[in-house]
């Protein structure tokens, strides 16, 4: 990919100037842990398979031919090369060492760039000369902390990026990184390399496990440092800038991980749109969303739809069992997969299932966070689904919800609409449920769009689905029916949207009729606002977030067009255009927002909330009745026993 206009080149000469220092860190340094527990740092003599003297001289290209033998301290290169114990480093071991050396050098080069933008070098010089003014000591300390955090994060990001091609199915848990020192960049590297050496010693039993340890360590380090950076000072020059290493196609963008786009292997059976019968609005919006995802610009890391409005980041599909939720997932995943193959984009699909609920405290939340991060990866087009979310995510206050389910609820809520949520437009999350009334209210309201998956509804729908499922192995005539004519998407969707000009749920119908009788047609923003307030008075769960979701849905309607099929089939027509060109092409297709659109989207969203509330209340009443019945039966049995 070409260099983005907002990125500066990190020169190769600047990186290679740090190679000697980086290699020195890998060959050996002394460090006594200051934060981490577990005793002193492991030394070479006490580590299995590592002698006090080197048994060979490396001639691996890219590694130094001259070694300095150390008899104490941390020898990470010796630790890695000794795995397997055959006396010579394997290609994987050499690749890991080269990756670590380059990651350290890149981190130090970026730290230098940061120092050039601020007065840190001058302050360091003044401090060495003993002339640092007392009034600048606090500033000096804050800048050193910022330098340390930047060095650590870029090291972790570069390590994960450069070694990703050697990732295997092996996984390890390294836990939280403890030895994160922020006195300065050099000491910060000492701390984390000491801890990496300890983790490899404990967990890297073979070279594949060793790679897994290094990658897991890099991910944990980025997470730890990003958390610290959220409250640190003096980081603005780093966060506002972006650098690119052309030789590695590696980018540094603040505290966001750089990844190589890697597709997931899909084994599901894809469905074509004509194999989805009924569910017209859900089908139409899924088809539109599949094409919206493809407008994502990998250089700018932003989708024009996310900027213009109308992008669906989260949605919920609900309906009775057997109405087609799984078929809808298979259709949308198939469309995105085909589009990505045509464009050569990496596509990642993942489903969060009940298998991710774990009995160990915190593990369920970790599984959910890993799922979110995999789909959010800005280097891929992502589609994440959470099927049967009512079973997976716990409802707060429900005594039957396990700790693991509540952990998942907390992660999803924070990820879908938290303070740090960034919608780039490269991915979407779909939540599906047969019983959405059992989903936590706050989590359910984080679904920006609602897809009612009600399956076949009309006589034509039932004929079409029977014809489809019967297959070809029969001679039964179709009769007086034009197959799939009722599934013509634009015609069916127009009818479905028009059907929401008035509410469907009984409770909402009463509110709508009352408001309309009092103020007349809802043809102004003031009148529509009055209607929204009346809905809130009828259901207190209808909050400001509901209004945001409705307005987002209205913006989607303003984008009520499908990107032309030929734009997906011939990438040069649209997909390979630059961000600004794509944004302009989309803007030309936008439609004006109408009163009818707003009323229909208010009714569509409010209908879903009333439907959920009615079911939720009914379930609660039934449970209370059942409990009271059990209580009465227990009293009778108790009194009979006493008698």
Which of 329-343, 551-565, 610-624 has the weakest average pLDDT? 610-624
- pLDDT of 454 reads 73
- pLDDT of 377 reads 86
Same domain, 605 and 558: yes
Same domain, 295 and 317: yes
179 alpha carbon, distance to own chain's centre = 27
Residue given tokens 């006090």 in the structure block: 52
Rounded mean pLDDT of 540-545? 83
Rounded mean pLDDT of 307-326? 84
Same domain, 432 and 521: yes
3-state secondary structure 225-250: HHHHHCCCCCCHHHHCCEEEECCCCE
Same domain, 222 and 169: yes
Could you give the CA distance from residue 536 to residue 162 in angstroms, rounded to a whole number?
A: 52
Ramachandran region of residue 500, left (φ > 0), alpha (ψ -120 to 50) or beta? alpha
Helices (H), 344-402: 363-376, 389-392
Residue 66 confidence class, pLDDT cut points 50, 70, 90 = very low
Rounded mean pLDDT of 96-109? 97
Nearest-10 Cα torsion for 386, 388, 394, 400: -160
Residue 608 confidence class, pLDDT cut points 50, 70, 90 = confident
Residue 152, phi then psi, degrees to nearest 5: -65, -45
Establish if 61 belongs to a structural domain: no
The string of DSSP codes covering 427-445 is EEEEEEES-GGGS-HHHHT
- pLDDT of 45 reads 34
pLDDT of 44 strictly over 70? no
For 42, counting Cβ atoms within 10 Å of its Cβ (0-12 exposed, 13-18 middle, 19+ buried), the class is: buried
Q: For 415-434, how does the pLDDT look when each residue is reduced to its tens digit (9 = 90+)?
A: 998 777 889 999 999 999 88
Rounded mean pLDDT of 593-608? 90
| Per-chain mean pLDDT for the chain | 84
Which of 222-226, 407-411, 415-419 has the weakest average pLDDT? 415-419
Residue given tokens 């606002």 in the structure block: 529
Same domain, 243 and 328: no
- pLDDT of 643 reads 62
Establish if 389 belongs to a structural domain: yes
Establish if 490 belongs to a structural domain: yes
The string of DSSP codes covering 9-78 is E--HHHHHTTHHHHHHHHH-B----SS--SSSPP-GGGSTT--SS-S-----TTS-S-----SSSB-HHH
Where is 286: in which H helix or E strand? helix 280-294
- Which two structure tokens, joined as six digits, stand for 216? 């897991």
What percentage of the chain exceeds 70 in pLDDT?
88
CB 151 within 8 A of CB 189: yes
Rounded mean pLDDT of 80-85? 86
Where is 348: in which H helix or E strand? strand 347-351
- pLDDT of 71 reads 35
User: How many Cβ atoms from other residues are within 10 Å of residue 596's Cβ?
Assistant: 14
Residue 54 confidence class, pLDDT cut points 50, 70, 90 = very low
Establish if 635 belongs to a structural domain: no
Same domain, 437 and 558: yes
Could you give the CA distance from residue 121 to residue 607 in angstroms, rounded to a whole number?
A: 62
Residue 436: which of 423, 422, 424, 447 has the closest Cα? 447
Same domain, 312 and 418: yes
Q: For 499-522, how does the pLDDT look when each residue is reduced to its tens digit (9 = 90+)?
A: 888 998 888 999 999 999 999 999
- pLDDT of 559 reads 77
Same domain, 448 and 301: yes
Same domain, 443 and 574: yes
| Residues of the domain holding 188 | 8-21+91-253
Which of 15-19, 221-225, 272-276, 378-382 has the weakest average pLDDT? 272-276
SS3 label, residue 611: helix
For residue 639, CA distances in Å to 215, 630, 631, 636 come to 65, 14, 12, 5
Establish if 438 belongs to a structural domain: yes
Q: What is the CA radius of gyration of the chain?
A: 30
Q: For 238-274, how does the pLDDT look when each residue is reduced to its tens digit (9 = 90+)?
A: 998 999 999 998 999 899 888 776 666 666 777 777 7
Rounded mean pLDDT of 571-580? 93
Same domain, 375 and 447: yes
- pLDDT of 284 reads 84
SS3 label, residue 263: coil
Same domain, 201 and 330: no
For residue 40, CA distances in Å to 31, 49, 140, 195, 198 come to 9, 19, 30, 11, 10
Establish if 42 belongs to a structural domain: no
CATH number at residue 375: 3.40.50.300
Establish if 396 belongs to a structural domain: yes
Rounded mean pLDDT of 388-395? 89
Same domain, 476 and 611: no
| Count of domains observed in the chain | 3
Nearest-10 Cα torsion for 250, 29, 122, 130: 170
Establish if 38 belongs to a structural domain: no
Q: For 455-480, how does the pLDDT look when each residue is reduced to its tens digit (9 = 90+)?
A: 777 788 788 878 877 888 888 888 88
- pLDDT of 468 reads 79
């Amino acid at each position: 990919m070409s260099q983005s206009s907002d990125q500066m080149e990190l020169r190769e000469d600047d990186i290679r100037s740090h190679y000697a220092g980086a290699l020195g860190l890998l060959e050996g340094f002394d460090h006594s842990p200051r934060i981490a527990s577990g005793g002193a740092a492991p030394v070479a003599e006490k580590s299995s398979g590592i002698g006090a003297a080197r048994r060979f001289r490396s001639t691996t290209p890219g590694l130094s031919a001259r070694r300095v033998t150390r008899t104490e301290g941390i020898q990470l290169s010796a630790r890695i090369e000794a795995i397997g114990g055959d006396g010579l480093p394997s290609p994987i071991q050499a690749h890991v060492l080269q990756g670590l050396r380059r990651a350290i050098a890149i981190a130090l080069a970026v730290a230098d760039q940061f120092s050039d933008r601020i007065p840190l070098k001058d302050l360091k010089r003044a401090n060495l000369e003993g002339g640092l003014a007392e009034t600048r000591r606090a500033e000096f300390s804050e800048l050193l902390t910022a330098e340390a955090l930047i060095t650590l994060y870029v090291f972790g990001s570069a390590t994960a990026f450069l070694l990703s091609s050697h990732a295997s199915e092996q996984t390890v848990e390294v836990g939280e990184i403890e030895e994160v020192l922020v006195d300065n960049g050099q000491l910060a590297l000492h701390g984390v390399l000491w801890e990496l050496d300890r983790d490899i010693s404990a967990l890297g039993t073979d070279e594949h496990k060793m790679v897994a340890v290094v990658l897991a360590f890099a991910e944990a380090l980025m997470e730890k440092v990003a958390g610290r950076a959220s409250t640190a000072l003096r980081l603005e020059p780093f966060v506002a800038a972006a650098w690119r290493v052309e030789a590695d196609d590696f980018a540094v963008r603040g505290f966001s991980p750089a990844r190589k786009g890697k597709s997931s292997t899909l084994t599901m059976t894809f469905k074509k749109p004509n194999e989805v019968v009924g569910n017209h609005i859900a089908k139409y919006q899924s088809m539109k969303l599949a094409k919206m995802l493809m407008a994502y610009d990998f250089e700018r890391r932003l989708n024009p739809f996310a900027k213009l409005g109308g992008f669906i980041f989260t949605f919920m599909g609900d309906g009775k069992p057997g109405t087609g939720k799984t078929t809808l997932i298979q259709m949308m995943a198939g469309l995105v997969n085909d589009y990505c193959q045509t464009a050569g984009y990496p596509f990642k699909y993942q489903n969060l299932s009940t298998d991710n609920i774990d009995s160990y405290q915190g593990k369920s939340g970790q599984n959910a966070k890993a799922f979110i991060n995999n789909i959010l990866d800005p280097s891929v087009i992502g589609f994440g689904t959470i099927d049967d979310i009512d079973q997976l995510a716990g409802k707060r206050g429900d005594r039957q919800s396990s700790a693991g389910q509540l952990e998942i609820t907390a992660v999803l809520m924070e990820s879908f609409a938290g303070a740090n949520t960034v919608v780039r437009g490269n991915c979407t999350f779909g939540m599906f449920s047969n019983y959405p009334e059992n989903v936590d209210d706050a989590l359910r309201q984080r679904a920006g769009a609602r897809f009612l998956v009600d399956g076949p509804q009309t006589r034509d729908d039932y004929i079409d689905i029977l014809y489809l499922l019967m297959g070809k192995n029969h001679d039964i005539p179709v009769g007086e029916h034009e197959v799939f004519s009722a599934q013509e998407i634009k015609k069916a969707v127009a009818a479905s949207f028009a059907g929401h000009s008035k509410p469907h749920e009984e409770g909402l119908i009463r509110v709508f009729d009352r408001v309309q009788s009092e103020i007349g047609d809802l043809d102004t923003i003031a009148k529509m606002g009055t209607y929204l307030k009346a809905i809130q008075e009828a259901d207190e769960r209808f909050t400001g977030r509901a209004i945001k979701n409705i307005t987002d849905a209205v913006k989607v309607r303003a984008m009520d067009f499908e990107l032309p099929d030929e734009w997906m089939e011939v990438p040069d027509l649209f997909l390979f255009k630059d961000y600004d060109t794509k944004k302009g092409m989309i803007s030309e297709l936008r439609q004006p927002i109408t009163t009818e659109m707003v009323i229909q989207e208010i009714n569509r969203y409010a209908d879903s909330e009333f439907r959920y509330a009615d079911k939720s209340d009914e379930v609660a009443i039934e449970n209370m009745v059942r409990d009271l019945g059990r209580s009465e039966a227990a009293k009778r049995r108790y009194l009979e026993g006493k008698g």
